[in-house]
Amino acid sequence: MTDTEARTRTRAAALARLRDFLPRAGRDYARLRNFDLGPGRHAHVSGLSPYLRHRLITEEEVLKAMLARHSPQAAGKFIQEVFWRSYWKGWLEMRPGVWDSYRAGLARALDDVQTQSGLRRSWEAACSGQTGITCFDHWAQELVQTGYLHNHARMWFASIWIFTLHLPWELGADFFLRHLLDGCPASNTLGWCWVGGLQTRGKTYLTRPDNIARFTEGRFFPAPGELASTAPPLTCPDHPPRRPIPQEENWDPSLPSACLLTSEDLHPGPLFDTGLHPFATATWQDADALSPLMTADHVAQFKTAALQDATTRWADRLGPVTACPDARAIARWATTQRQAHGITQIVAPYAPAGPTADMLSELKPLLAAQDIRLIRVLRPYDARAWPHATHGFFRFKDRIPGLLSALNDGETLSQKQLTN
């Protein structure tokens, strides 16, 4: 990874993208956001998603910057896109069994790939962009090469994967998660479920050739009969009952503490604002936990560089930093901190359902065996937004004005930050 590449995976790069995008975040975005013009030409979207995914920049910061430049009406479409991220996280956090079901379905599909030669050939052709469907093959190769796909292209791609190629949706979701720089367990899993009719039961997304032609400005126009003409919904068990959003844990920041920083949330400032003064910090990134298969190098490199940027920026608050590969390594590190400093708790930003939450669930009893508490601190932004993700997004959308009003509290990007 070159120095130039590393600099694109930083908070400074996120702030620069936000600054450049702000003038276009209103009516221009609303009018042009659905156009996929190809690699290097995604000028009508913000490009902020990899940074928001890892919270090198936070949703609150982006929304406040947006509202300082545009009215809620003018920037309404972009504001909704930011809240889609919160909606997906909240929906899955209240139904974590859907994540577990996806992982189990993926394991079965990968077993089938090993035993069914026809499925294996079709899956490999789809992942390598050799299906013969020009637009689909282009998007597969763009994803593998760049770590990005336009949101509209993701929908087209998932629809073709499921309804034209008849491949298991879990394999497609895994392909995305292994290659997307902004691959989010919630939005990726539930986005594929939505296309297949599993999220909103019975409602599927069918890719149409004329829609592709229009929003790629004629770059692609699938031939008649090349794509499926129907999209019958997939079947699966009913969604599990909703569970409540976890309540804030009671904890005392004055107790001897260590910090755990993961690639799920690289903005530890609110922890320090509560009075946390860790003796040391462990870090963990989820690239190897995203899939049973190998994750793309660019995904691991982005996460590693983003973690390095965060620990460098907060070096005076974190204490000595140790990178750990798994929960057991973190537990061993905790043993040394208990022996050296008498720590009684490890504090980490809360992680919603996904690989990081799975790792923390594994870690918690390992720490408890040493009389060390694992404290997972839920952000007020998430605590306000997630409970409203009870049904579809349109019901959630009605809550957006109130959620925007609540942004008056907390951090705000200064003009200096946006211009430097």
Q: Where are the alpha helices (DSSP H) in 148-282?
A: 151-159, 169-179, 185-196, 209-215, 269-273
- In order, the DSSP letters of 26-38 are THHHHHHTT----
Mean pLDDT of the chain: 94
Q: What is the mean pLDDT of residues 267-272?
A: 95
CA distance linking residue 203 with residue 136, whole number of Å: 22
pLDDT level of residue 236 (50, 70, 90 thresholds):
confident
* Average of per-residue pLDDT across 238-261: 92
Nearest CA to 76 out of 41, 116, 26 is that of 26
What are the helix (H) ranges across 116-249? 117-128, 134-146, 151-159, 169-179, 185-196, 209-215
Q: pTM (2 decimals)?
A: 0.94
Q: Which amino acid is at 172?
A: G
Q: Report the pLDDT value the prediction gives residue 160, as an integer from 0 to 100.
A: 98
Whole-number CA gyration radius for the chain: 22
Tell me: the pLDDT tens digits for 55-103?
A: 999 999 999 999 999 999 999 999 999 999 999 999 999 999 999 999 9
How far from each other are the two terminal CA atoms of the chain, in whole angstroms? Answer: 25
Domain 257-379 falls under CATH 3.40.50.620: yes
**CATH topology assigned to domain 98-215:** DNA Cyclobutane Dipyrimidine Photolyase, subunit A; domain 3 (1.10.579)
In percent, the amount of the chain with pLDDT more than 90 equals 91
Q: Which architecture, in CATH terms, is 3-93+384-419?
A: Alpha Horseshoe (1.25)
pLDDT tens digits along 358-417: 999 999 999 999 999 999 999 999 999 999 999 999 999 999 999 999 997 544 444 444
Angle, alpha carbons 163-168-174 (nearest 5°): 115
Q: CB of 413 within 8 A of CB of 63?
A: no
Distance separating alpha carbons of residues 61 and 92, to the nearest angstrom: 23
pLDDT, one tens digit per residue, over 176-206 is 999 999 999 999 999 999 999 999 888 999 9
Could you tell me if residue 159 is left (phi over 0), alpha (psi between -120 and 50 degrees) or otherwise beta?
A: alpha
pLDDT > 70: percent of the chain = 95
Q: Is the pLDDT of residue 2 over 60?
A: no
* Domain map (residue ranges) of the chain: 3-93+384-419, 98-215, 257-379
User: Contact at 8 Å (CB) between 213 and 251?
Assistant: no
For the segment 126-138, the average pLDDT, to the nearest whole number, is 98
- Cα(342)–Cα(303) distance, integer angstroms: 31
Residue 157's pLDDT band, with cuts at 50, 70 and 90, is very high
Residue-wise pLDDT for 311-341, tens only, equals 999 999 999 999 999 999 999 999 999 999 9
Give, to the nearest 10 degrees, the angle between helix 134-146 and helix 169-179. Answer: 40
C-alpha 404/C-alpha 60 separation (Å) is 9
